[in-house]
Amino acid sequence: MEKTDAHISLEVQKNSLTKPKPSPAQINFKDLEYSVTIKNAISNDSKKTLKKLSKNFLPNKKDESKKKIILDRITGSFMPGRLTAIMGPSGSGKTSLLNLLSGRVSSGKVEGSIWLNGRKADSGSLGLVSRFISQDDVMMSTMTVREVVEMAIKFRVDGITRDEINVRANEAINTLELEKCQNTLIGDTIAKGISGGERKRTSIAMEMATDSSILFLDEPTSGLDMYTSILVVKLLRFISRSGQTVVSVIHQPSSDIFNLFDDIVLISEGKIVYFGAQKKLVDYFSSLGFQCPNYTNPADFVFTDVLNLNEAELERMKAENFSGSKADYKILKINHLAESWKVSEQYDVIKERVDNPRLEQLNDSNFTSSVFPSRQFFLLCNRALKDTFRNELVLKARLAQSIAMYLIMGIVFYKSNTKSTSTNFEGSLFFGIVS
Ligand SMILES: Nc1ncnc2c1ncn2[C@@H]1O[C@H](COP(=O)(O)OP(=O)(O)OP(=O)(O)O)[C@@H](O)[C@H]1O
């Protein structure tokens, strides 16, 4: 039987009894540009050979590295208590935007500004205030579902008691329907553990169980069946209702999933072509001349008719004898859509939010990691020990290596009492530590 909204809301209300509300965070960005320099990867030797073959084949020296603009001076605002979907074709810059806003970009050039509740934010503060659930989650294969959820809580919430950890872990596990596999190992390609869907839900449970003001997710429904996908997005909606800012990249959502989002951001070619209420998207594009047919999923309409060339545009391209390719014509269309967006009423609403952030500034305590580094070190050592003892193959290999090293040491230092004692001692100590 399918779960209803009421069923899930009951569990989320239960959550709010035990979990303190995170401080609300409004994340604003203005004229954000992210670019990388792309270098020509052809080696000098290959260049010489190719030059012999064709003088015109290689680009001129000055073209060897060029700037690639991934996000092109975009402006926007994500609000607490709202669930936002970022949609767009593959390679349009969705993940890059999430990476920038969660402080995870280490290469390339970033221009423009990002604020958290009106306070200028850098990658350090963005990283501390937000959580990021990536497409390829990283979890230790030798730990169980319950252990990774508990580990996430211990690692991020300071001074929490064993009982509180249990309560929080139980809530996250029950809400994400992970009860049946809570004691199953995560597993990897060699030792099979939980399924792909369970893995995705576990990574959300890890973030749900801790307090964070902003939650970023990169395609949380990819690889999931329809029922689980709807369940996951409903949960994200309820998480947002507790005051968190939830932003998720979503790929080709069904209309049921699309309707669960409050706001939609459409990105193409690194430019924003729409940023606003989900309910106003169809009307906005109809005002630009793109009519969504009756009984059509708005998300499908956006991908086929708006962000790609539709039948009418392909015919117009032929009629105009356009000299470039379809891709060039599409870029012209996207540029036009991005320009139209910047003169729309909805854009003024976003700009107003960016220019006048309404929330109080976040306290300094929001920007510091709450768990002491010494405690984090202890937790990591504990996890590494567990990992070593559970991974039988690696453990046996390490034991064999140590025995072999000690045998070699024994042979090297056997009957070596003719040499200076301190040299022998230092030498054996060195080998002992290394092995
Ligand atoms: N560090 C980088 N160096 C070079 N190119 C990059 C870098 N980061 C991103 N890109 C390029 O920028 C573009 C946008 O990448 P991004 O991963 O943000 O796209 P996306 O919209 O998330 O795509 P998908 O839906 O396929 O995951 C792509 O063409 C990608 O190859």
Distance CA 393, CA 191 (A): 11
* Residue 170 belongs to domain with CATH number: 3.40.50.300
Residue 59 in domain: no
CA-closest residue to ligand 1 atom 2: 36
Total domains present in the chain: 2
Residue 353 in domain: yes
Q: Which domain holds residue 198?
A: 22-39+65-366
Q: Does the interface predicted TM-score (ipTM) exceed 0.85?
A: yes
Q: Is 348 helix (H, G, I), strand (E, B) or coil?
A: helix
Residue 428 in domain: yes
Residue 44 in domain: no
Ligand 1 pocket residue status of 323, Cβ below 6 Å: no
Ligand 1 pocket residue status of 89, Cβ below 6 Å: no
Quote the pLDDT of residue 135. 72
Residue 4 in domain: no
Residues 348 and 398 placed together within one structural domain of the fold: no
Helix boundaries (H) for 73-213: 94-101, 123-129, 145-156, 162-175, 196-208
Ligand 1 pocket residue status of 110, Cβ below 6 Å: no
| DSSP class of 305 | I
Quote the pLDDT of residue 418. 58
The pLDDT averaged over each successive group of 10 residues in the chain (435 residues) is: 40 46 86 87 54 52 73 95 95 94 90 91 87 79 89 81 88 86 86 83 82 87 85 88 91 93 96 95 94 92 90 84 85 94 94 84 59 78 79 80 82 67 67 68
Residues 396 and 253 placed together within one structural domain of the fold: no
Distance CA 264, CA 31 (A): 19
What separation in Å is there between the alpha carbon of 203 and the centre of ligand 1? 23
> Residue written as tokens 């300094």?
364
Residues 415 and 327 placed together within one structural domain of the fold: no
Ligand 1 atom with least separation from CA of 270: 14
Residue 310 in domain: yes
Residues 395 and 326 placed together within one structural domain of the fold: no
